[in-house]
Chains A and B, each alone.
Chain A
Amino acid sequence: MILKNGIRHLLISALSDFKRNKVRTFLTSLGITIGVLSVVMLIALGLGLKNYLKQTFESLGANLLIVMPGNSFSGEGEGGLQSFGPGMIGGIQFDEKDVANLKRIQQIKYIAPVTFKSTTVEADGKKKIGYVMGSTEDIFKVINLELLTGQQFSKSDISSSAKKVVLGYSLAEKLFVDPKEALGKTVRFEKLRFRVIGVSKKKGDNEMDNSIILPYKTVFGSINPDKTFYSIYLSLEKETDIPAVKAKAEEVLGKRYDKNKFSVTEQSEILSTVNQIFSIVNSILVAIGSISLLVGGIGIMNIMYATVTERTKEVGIRRSVGATEKDILMQFLTESVVLSLMGGIIGLVLAILLVLLIRLFFPAAINLLSVIVTLVISSAIGIFFGVFPARRAAKLPPIEAIRYE
C-alpha cells in the first residue's frame, strides 16, 4: 500500500515536472524517439526484405534445382560471396549442349535454360523497361507462372524461333493500360517485332511482373549472340530426388567445366544464404541505428544532470522532511525512465504508422519481439543514463542542498 502509493507519487511528481518543462521534455525524449524509430524501422524493413525474398522464392516451383555459374552458394572456391550478383560477371555460361546432357537425367521433370537481359520495350507509342527471359515452354511450370489471358508458346515455337512473347502483368499494364488489351498486339525491342500471345497473372515479383518471356531460340543471334544461358532450372518429380540429381548434374557438367566454376543449388540453400547476407547487413544497420539511441541516452543524462543542479534546493527540502537517499534516487531515476520510455513509445508508434504505410507496397513487418525489445531498451537507457545524475542528487549533503540558492 505504502509502496504502491510511493510509485504513484513518483510518477505524478515526474509527470508534473515534465508538464512544467514541456519543450525540454519533448526535445529530450525526441532523441530516444528518433533512435527507437530508426532501429525499429530498420528491423521492420529487414523483416520485410526477408518476407519479400521468401515470397519470391516460394513462388518458384517446388523441388527446384538451379544451375548457375560461379561457386557462390557453397562458400568455397575463389569466387565466394563476391561473385554473387546479377549477371555473375566472369563466370562460365552454359549452352544447348549442357541442356541436352542434363536432360538425360531421368528424375528431371522439366528443364528450363534461361537467358536474361533487360531492355527497352516499345508499344503503343510508349517505351518501358522490361526483362527479356528466353527459355523453353517448361519455364511456365518451373516458376509456377499462370496466364491471365492468351497462351504459352509451344515446343514448335522454339524450334521455329517464333516471334511470340508472353508479357508480365505490370509491363502489359504499363504499355496497354488494361493488361488484357495486350493480347495480339505487337511489341518492339532490339529492332525486332514480336506478337503478344499471352499475359501472365500478377506475381508480386518486380522482375517477373515486368518480364517478356519468349522462346530462347528466338533471341539467338540478336539479344543472345553467343547462344548461351545464364542459368538452367531443373524441376524434379520428387523432393527425395534432389540429392541424387544434384550429384548427377554436377557430374555431367563437371565433364566440361571446372567444378569451381558452376554450382547446382537448391532454392532453400539460396534462400538461407541470401537471408544470411541480409541478416548481417541488417544487423550492421541496426547497430548504426543504435548509435542514435546512445546519443539520445546521453541527451537524457545531460538534462538530468541539469535538472539535479536546478533542483538541489528541492532535494534538500525533501530530505529535511524525511526523504531517504533512496527516495531521491528513485525520484530522479523515475523521471529519466519515464522520459526515455515516453520517447521510446512515441518512436514505436511512429514506426508502426510508417510500417503500415510502407506495407502498401512492401511487406515490412513489426514483430512482438521488436516491440518488447524497444520498451526494454528504452527503460534500460533511462536507468543507465539516469542513474548517475540520480546518484548525484541522492548523495547531496542535505544541509548544503537546503542552503543552495
Chain B
Amino acid sequence: MIKLQNVYKTYFLGDEQVHAVDNVTLEIKEKEYVSILGSSGSGKSTLMYLIGLLEHPSSGQIFLDGKNVTSLGDEKLSQIRNEAVGFVFQSFNLIPKFTVLENILLPTKYAKRKLDFNPLARAEELLKKFGIWERRNFFPNKISGGQQQRVAIARALMMKPKIILADEPTGNLDTKTGDEILDLLESLNRDFKVTVVLVTHEKDVAKRTRRQIYMRDGKLVGKYL
C-alpha cells in the first residue's frame, strides 16, 4: 500500500548534515500490523511522518497504492492525510479548548469531498465502542490519559483511514493502560482491517506486532541491536 524508495530526510544542524532517514526502502502492505522499533534519535518518528505524508523527503520516492505522491502539492497531500491516514501521538495531541466530541469531529471539518457518513453518528459509534461516550462533552484535561488516547484513536479513525500511524502511543501511559491501548490498536487491525504502523522503542511493545522493522541512525537494520 505504501512504498518508500531510497528515501532520505536530511537536516542541517549548523553546518553539519544529519540524515534523520538515510536511504530507506520499505513497503507496508495493506492490512499489515507492523512496528518500527528503534532507540531515541534513530529516525523512526521521522520515518513515520514521511509515511504519513506530513513530512517531505529530501530525496527518494513515496508511492501510495502505486501512485507516486512524492511531489504532490499541499492541497493533495492534505487531502490524502485527511482521508487515508490517521495519526496517534505519544502526547495524545488533543486540542485542549475542544471537547472530546469536537476533537473527534475535527477531521471532518477539513473534508474536501462530501462525506459518505454522518459525522455525528460515526463519532457516537466510535465513542461508544471505546467506552467514552459519556465523556463526549468533557474537555481533554478532565479525562484520564487512557481515555485521552482512546479519543485520539477515535479521531484517527473518524475518516475511515486505510492506515493508522501510532508514534509511541503507550509512552505516556502506565503499563496496564498501555496494554489496553495496544489491544485496541490490535483489534483495529484484526477486526477492521486497518493497516497499523506502531512506532516504539520498547521491544515488548514491538513484539506484539506481526512484523518488526528495526531502525538505527536513520537506516533500516536487520535486527534490533
Contacts from A to B (Cβ < 8 Å): 1-2, 5-6, 9, 16-17, 20, 313-314, 316-327, 398-399, 402
Asked whether B210 is an interface residue with its Cβ less than 8 Å from the other chain, the reply is no
Find out whether the CB atom of B97 lies under 8 angstroms from the CB atom of A319: no
Find out whether the CB atom of A322 lies under 8 angstroms from the CB atom of B110: yes
Q: How far is the CA of A317 from the CA of B148 in the complex (A)?
A: 15
CB distance from B76 to the nearest CB of A (A): 9
CB distance from A328 to the nearest CB of B (A): 10
Q: Given A398-B55, A399-B54, does the pair A320, B79 have CB atoms closer than 8 Å?
A: no
Find out whether the CB atom of B75 lies under 8 angstroms from the CB atom of A2: no
Q: How far is the CA of A314 from the CA of B83 in the complex (A)?
A: 19
Give the interface residue-count category, chain B.
Answer: 20 to 34
Q: How far is the CA of A358 from the CA of B159 in the complex (A)?
A: 59
CB distance from A367 to the nearest CB of B (A): 41
Interface of A is mostly: helix
Q: B199-219: contact bitstring with A at CB < 8 Å (1 yes, 0 no)?
A: 000000000000000000000
CB distance from B35 to the nearest CB of A (A): 20
Q: How far is the CA of A321 from the CA of B74 in the complex (A)?
A: 13
Find out whether the CB atom of A313 lies under 8 angstroms from the CB atom of B112: no
Number of A-B contacts (CB under 8 A): 67
Q: Given A317-B93, A321-B81, does the pair A6, B109 have CB atoms closer than 8 Å?
A: yes
Q: Given A2-B112, A402-B89, does the pair A325, B95 have CB atoms closer than 8 Å?
A: no
Q: How far is the CA of A398 from the CA of B81 in the complex (A)?
A: 12
Find out whether the CB atom of B110 lies under 8 angstroms from the CB atom of A327: yes
Asked whether B155 is an interface residue with its Cβ less than 8 Å from the other chain, the reply is yes
Asked whether B18 is an interface residue with its Cβ less than 8 Å from the other chain, the reply is no
Find out whether the CB atom of B110 lies under 8 angstroms from the CB atom of A320: no
Q: B85-129: contact bitstring with A at CB < 8 Å (1 yes, 0 no)?
A: 001010001110100000000110111111000000000000000
Q: Give chain A residues whose Cβ lies under 8 Å from the Cβ of B42.
A: none
CB closest residue in chain A, given B112:
A2
Find out whether the CB atom of A322 lies under 8 angstroms from the CB atom of B79: yes
Q: How far is the CA of A316 from the CA of B106 in the complex (A)?
A: 13
Find out whether the CB atom of B93 lies under 8 angstroms from the CB atom of A402: yes
Find out whether the CB atom of B106 lies under 8 angstroms from the CB atom of A324: no
CB distance from B104 to the nearest CB of A (A): 10
Q: How far is the CA of A141 from the CA of B52 in the complex (A)?
A: 90
**11 A-B pairs (CB sep. < 8 Å):** A9-B109, A316-B93, A320-B52, A320-B93, A322-B107, A322-B110, A323-B110, A324-B110, A325-B74, A399-B46, A399-B55
